[in-house]
Structure 1
Amino acid sequence: MYKILLFFILIPLLIQAQFPDNTVHLKIGDKAPPLVLMGSDNSVQGFNFPLNDKVYLIHFWSSGYSLSKKFLPRLISLYQRYNNLPYRNIEGFDVITVAVQSDKIAWKQDIEQYNLSGITNLIAQRGFNDANIKNWGVNILPSTFLVNEQGIIVMINPTMLQIEQYLDEARNFPPNRKDLRARLLMNPNLSSGIPSHNVFLLNMFEDTLQKTKTNERGIFTFSEIKLLNDFIFRFDTTQNQIKYLKEIYLADANDVILPPVSKNSSRLFDFQFSGKDVQKFYASDRKANAIQFISKIKFKENTSTIDLSSLKELDKIKDIMEKQPDLVLEVICHTDSKLDDDKSFKLSQEQANA
């Protein structure tokens, strides 16, 4: 009799250990709870939201769950592209990862493997029983939250494209966009265009950005594409025109025929190209988006020597120009009205050239 009772007592305990009962259920519009956890530098770090007028991406994951680590490369890509951009009403974008696990060794190995050292990494060593994890209502991994500059949760488990759209709308200037055009060919001859064929534009993580179809001459166009570091043209191999081909050809926007494209290990025709090669596929010479970026650079009084307090602002502009090299920067300087016209004009030129 006692053995039977013991059996029925143990069963609920085992179930509870496998399925944590974190009764908090955060939803969009709720205030983000604080985080107080051990960081990768072995010190306790605390975060109360809102924090520094920034937008934060909070990602809960674990080394023991391979599926929860798939978002990490995307997370780093987001951080690298959006962390230092200027925004209208927020001070920036930052990322915090929270590993829900007891194994610190595996955690630190993953930080190194996934190049996470540039962002804030925390660990909840009590797992799902940690008070921080319960306060966030995290029951499954991965779990991701986007918190705005007011400390409010605005997205739960968003895709990378949804996060990009949110941040793009908050930027001080719109992202640079172009129309991309190419021609799908059966052989290295412009007259061999393959008509009515499905073409997909993917990013480096194989998210579909747009889908289009070739015209009667094999030409296809993707409209208003935000310029990224890497793109992939993917061609539908289930359609009869190329189903049995071993290789296909592409011509760029200037009808220059490129080297043949062979099927990859997944039996797909993928043409991958980087940001430096994307200009080959610009559909026109349409000017990049006009932007207005007001930045107050200070100079020492009546000189062209830049004040040290403005160096950080100049670094932001430098970073923008490096990330979007086709932008044209217009510099406008204003001098003290007390100077006469000739001196004022000369000083303005010197300050602009500084």
Structure 2
Amino acid sequence: MKNIKLSLILFSFLFSLSFFAGASNPADGKDVKEGYEIGDRLPDIKAKSIAGNDIKLSSLEGKLVLVDFWASWCPPCRAENPRIVNAYNKFKNVNFKNGKGFTIYSFSLDTKQANWKAAIAKDKLNWDYHVSELKGWKSPTSNKFGISSIPSNFLIDGNGIILAKNLRGEKLELILQHYEKK
């Protein structure tokens, strides 16, 4: 019973937070300031995939995207990965209020490509967008985004507008359900 009450309180908080953030944003996402707070347009990222190809976050426009900062050496990140995988599998083909489908843009703070690649395989992170600068905490992107601990993430809509931040546990699925087109 206590878990149900806690879940309801958490959902109410997330709903009110997302409602107020969404209320101030134009539907098309234009004329929104770039930044790192809910309601801002998240700045674009361009980083290398394991294969060495550049992948831009903006190439995923039109989908809800979880921009997930993590690393293979981070126990809390690895513990969170099964929940992220479940959310991805459940919502990847869902239509949302402002996005078609859900995907994940995984930004690794690893320094060794072999460790990064092995963690992706072991944790079954089966989406296509895995990037890194292989510079650990010296990553220009993570520094620009103010990432000081991991796991850390941003959920953005189809226009790149931040809907929520640092979703862990049940919060990710709850917020995705909230934005699901019924």
TM-score by length of 2: 0.73
Which of structures 1 and 2 has the bigger CA Rg? 1
Alignment of 1:221-300 (within 5 A): none
Aligned length: 148
Which has the higher relative contact order, 1 or 2, with Cα contacts under 8 A spaced 6 or more apart? 2
Work out the CA distance in 2 between the residues paired with 1:86 and 1:33.
24
Structure with the higher fraction of residues in strand conformation: 1
Q: Which runs of 5+ in 1 are unaligned?
A: 1-24, 174-354
Q: Equivalent pairs: percent with the same residue? A: 22
Matched, 1:98 2:79: no
Work out the CA distance in 1 between the residues paired with 2:156 and 2:80.
17
Structure 1 residue 140 displacement after superposition: 1.0
Corresponding position of 2:160? 151
Q: Once superposed, what is the RMSD of the aligned Cα atoms? A: 1.9
Contact 2:62 2:158 in 1 (8 A): yes
Structure with the higher fraction of residues in helix conformation: 2
- Aligned with residue 69 of structure 2, among 60, 67, 71: 60
Alignment of 1:1-354 (within 5 A): 26-48=36-58, 51-173=60-182
Contact 1:52 1:91 in 2 (8 A): no
Contact 2:55 2:129 in 1 (8 A): no
Structure 1 residue 169 displacement after superposition: 2.6
Deviations 1:114-145 (A, max 9, x none): 11133311112122222211221111111111
Change (3 A) 1:65 1:87: closer
Change (3 A) 1:66 1:101: same
Contact 2:104 2:127 in 1 (8 A): no
Structure 1 residue 88 displacement after superposition: 4.3
User: Which SS does the other structure have where 2:36 is aligned?
Assistant: coil
User: Which SS does the other structure have where 1:72 is aligned?
Assistant: helix
Corresponding position of 1:185? none
Work out the CA distance in 2 between the residues paired with 1:84 and 1:167.
12
Structure 1 residue 99 displacement after superposition: 0.9
Change (3 A) 1:148 1:108: same
Deviations 1:187-213 (A, max 9, x none): xxxxxxxxxxxxxxxxxxxxxxxxxxx
Structure 1 residue 92 displacement after superposition: 1.5
Amino acid at match of 2:41: K
